[in-house]
Amino acid sequence: MSKKNKSSNKIIKKLTSRYRMLIVNEETFEEQFQFRLSRLNVIIVSIFLFSIFSVGLFFTIAYTPLREYIPGYDSSEIRKNAIENLFVTDSLINIYEKNSRYLNSVKKVLTGENLDESFFSNNNLENDSIVEKFSELIKGNKADSILRKIVDQEDKYNFDQNEAFKSNLFLNPPARGPISQEFNVKEEHFAVDIVLEENSPIKSIADGTVIFSEWTAQTGYVIIVRHNYGFMSVYKHNSSLSKKQGELVLTGEVIAAAGNTGEYSTGSHLHFELWLEGYPMDPKQFLNFD
């Protein structure tokens, strides 16, 4: 038999050799109990106990708050704050984008610049297509049928006040008077100019929120009201303003007084604009100024 085989047999014999472990009373030397063991049994039991301990330690760390005390693990509070901050950041981005769109829309209204020329080439702003476009926007709303009836009537807005109150969309002329300058796309006059006496009351055409109420060098005192269905009304060259930015206004509520302010003004009048989704509308298609 080779030396290697002898060595292997010797190791196996040591591992499988039986030993007796006695537990005795120290004072009486009375035998309490005994174990018959081998080195192999001790190794197997040790590995088994170590495995159980390792698995128990893993689950204890992974699924109990103890993991927060181990370097490299984030606490549940930190993860909760991170998720909340993520939602807050997303909301702030949405608010920022929404405000940016409003500011760009207001800039278009104030300057009349950077308008999409394809809109004017594909849509005749001085015919009934404007009414159709506006009607399609609010299709399905209860106010749609009311609006069409109002537009079709010769005296569009002389109907019962209770019916007007029930409607979410009630257009009231800002003022009544002769038109000195019509809506004209070619001349980039996206409004109608209504001749009025100084300090004549200017009224909101519908319920809405004031999004601009300031003085400008070119158009004097200007107030802009945002209404439902994506449209805005603009009132320029006023002598004074009755509402501030952020205030809510009702249909027919006085928001300014007619005047002759700003470099572009040539007399006491109201420069009135109506914008839909960033595009200028001809106010005479929807309002009766007589």
Q: Is the alpha carbon torsion for 93, 97, 102, 108 positive or negative? A: positive
CB 239 within 8 A of CB 254: no
pLDDT at 2: 65
Secondary structure letter of residue 65 according to DSSP: G
Tokens, residue 288: 């009766």
pLDDT at 270: 95
pLDDT at 166: 37
Give CA separation, 79 vs 62, 72, 82, 138, in Å.
Answer: 15, 13, 5, 44
Buried b (16+ CB within 10 A) or exposed e, 61-96: eeeeeeeeeeeeeeeeeeeeeeeeeeeeeeeeeeee
CA angle 228, 142, 102 (to 5 degrees): 10
Q: Give the E-state strand segments of 131-188 in sequence order.
A: 179-181
pLDDT at 226: 92
CA distance 33 to 25: 10
Half-sphere exposure of 62 (CA within 13 A, CB side): 6
Residues in the chain predicted with pLDDT less than 50, given as ranges, are 114, 119, 122-127, 130, 133-135, 137-142, 153-168
Whether pTM > 0.85 for this model: the answer is: no
CA distance 229 to 138: 7
What totals of helices (H) and strands (E) does the chain contain, helices first? 7, 12
CATH 2.70.70.10 in the chain, residue ranges: 115-285
Q: What is the pLDDT of residues 149-175, one digit of tens each?
A: 555 544 433 434 334 333 445 689 999
CB 191 within 8 A of CB 273: yes
Q: What is the pLDDT of residues 175-193, one digit of tens each?
A: 999 999 999 988 888 999 9
Q: Which fold has domain 115-285?
A: Glucose Permease (Domain IIA) (2.70.70)
